[in-house]
Chains A and B, each alone.
Chain A
Amino acid sequence: MFEHDFLGLFPEIFLINATIILLIYGVVFSTSKKYDYPPLVCNVSWLGLLSVLITILLVAAGTPLTVANLFYNNLIIDNFTYFCQIFLLLSTASTIVMCLGYFKEESLNAFESIVLILLSTCSMLFMISAYDLIAMYLAIELQSLCFYVIAASKRDSEFSTEAGLKYFILGAFSSGILLFGCSMIYGFTGVTNFEELAKIFTGYEITLFGAQSSGIFMGILFIAVGFLFKITAVPFHMWAPDVYEGSPTLVTAFFSIAPKISILANMVRVFMYSFYDPTWQQLFFFCSIASMILGALAAMAQNKVKRLLAYSSIGHVGYLFIGFSCGTIEGIQSLLIGVFIYVLMTINVFAIVLALRQNRFKYIADLGASAKTNPISAITLSITMFPYAGIPPLAGFRSKFYLFFAALGCGAYLLALIGVITSVISRFYYIRFVKIMYFDTPKTWILYKPMDREKSLLLAITLFLITFLFLYPSPLFLVTHQMALSLCL
Chain B
Amino acid sequence: MEFAPICVYLVISLLFSLILIGVSFLFASSSSLAYPEKLSAHECGFDPFDDARSRFDIRFYLVSILFIIFDLEVTFLFPWAVSLNKIGLFGFWSMIVFLLILTIGFLYEWKKGALDWE
Contact = CB atoms under 8 A, between A and B. Distances in A.
Partners in one complex: yes
Interface stretch (A23-31, A246-254, A350-358, A475-483): A23-31
A28 B104 contact: no
Interface string A12-28: 00000000100110011
B112 A24 contact: no
B101 interface: yes
Interface string B44-62: 0000000000000000000
A286 B10 CA distance: 55
Interface in B83-118: 90, 101, 104, 107-108, 111-113
Contacts, number: 16
A5 B15 CA distance: 58
Contacts of A28: 111
B112 A27 contact: yes
Nearest to B90: A1
> Interface SS of chain A: helix, strand, loop or mixed?
helix
B113 A24 contact: no
Contact of A31 (B90, B104, B111): B111
B110 to A, nearest CB: 9
Interface residues of A, number: 7
Contacts of B111: 27-28, 31
Contacts of A1: 90
Nearest to B110: A27
Q: Interface size for chain B: under 10, 10 to 19, 20 to 34, or 35 or more residues?
A: under 10
B22 to A, nearest CB: 44
A20 B112 contact: no
A23 B113 contact: no
Nearest to B105: A23
A31 B113 contact: yes
Could you say which of B101, B108, B113 has the most chain A C-beta atoms within 10 Å of its C-beta? B108
A28 B101 CA distance: 17
Interface in A20-60: 20, 23-24, 27-28, 31
B34 to A, nearest CB: 44
A28 B108 CA distance: 8
A122 B101 CA distance: 15
Contacts of B101: 20
Interface in B58-84: none
A20 B100 CA distance: 10
B112 A23 contact: no
A24 B112 CA distance: 10
A24 B107 CA distance: 8
B108 A31 contact: no
A31 B111 CA distance: 7
A24 B113 CA distance: 14
Contacts of B108: 23-24, 27
A1 B93 CA distance: 14
Could you say which of A1, A24, A27, A28 has the most chain B C-beta atoms within 10 Å of its C-beta? A27
A18 to B, nearest CB: 13
A300 B113 CA distance: 48
Could you say which of B90, B104, B111, B113 has the most chain A C-beta atoms within 10 Å of its C-beta? B111
A40 B80 CA distance: 38
B14 to A, nearest CB: 35
Interface of B: 90, 101, 104, 107-108, 111-113
16 contacts: A1-B90, A20-B101, A20-B104, A23-B104, A23-B108, A24-B104, A24-B107, A24-B108, A27-B107, A27-B108, A27-B111, A27-B112, A28-B111, A31-B111, A31-B112, A31-B113
